[in-house]
């Protein structure tokens, strides 16, 4: 078992040590939420994931996805996927928002 120090993301981490999620695990959780958007509460998402994840790891992933505006919670506590790749591409293609290295 590998333990690492991770900085707090939001309020999800109560202790200074937590399980660090792998990219594969983050992507699995994100894909599940995208496919089931609005169908499950946070706890239900955790219980219905295709592969089991430790609760502290899941908490870190959920806080991360919320912090980068990929998920939100509706008034009843259901997890909703809010990321729009089309909108992201639209802003990425805008010349007036382009970063210009000197």
CATH class of the domain comprising 21-97: mainly alpha
Tens digit of pLDDT for each residue in 1-48?
344 434 445 554 455 555 789 999 999 999 999 999 999 999 999 999
Residue 25 parent element (H or E): helix 23-35
Query: What is the CB neighbour count within 10 angstroms for residue 40?
Result: 18
Q: What is the pLDDT of residues 58-81, one digit of tens each?
A: 999 999 999 999 999 999 999 999
Beta strands 79-81 and 17-18: pairing type?
Answer: unpaired
| Separation between Cα atoms, residue 82 and residue 100, nearest integer Å | 29
Q: How far is CA 20 from the centre of its chain?
A: 13
Q: Which residue has the tokens 């219980």?
A: 47
């Amino acid at each position: 078992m590998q333990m690492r120090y991770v900085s707090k993301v939001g309020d999800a981490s109560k202790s200074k040590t937590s399980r660090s999620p792998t990219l594969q695990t983050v992507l699995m959780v994100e894909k599940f939420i995208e496919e089931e958007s609005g169908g499950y509460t946070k706890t239900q998402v955790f219980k219905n994931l295709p592969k089991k994840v430790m609760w502290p790891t899941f908490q870190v992933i959920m806080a991360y996805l919320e912090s980068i505006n990929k998920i939100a919670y509706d008034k009843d506590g259901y997890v909703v996927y809010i990321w729009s790749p089309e909108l992201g591409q639209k802003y990425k293609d805008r010349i007036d928002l382009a970063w210009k290295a000197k």
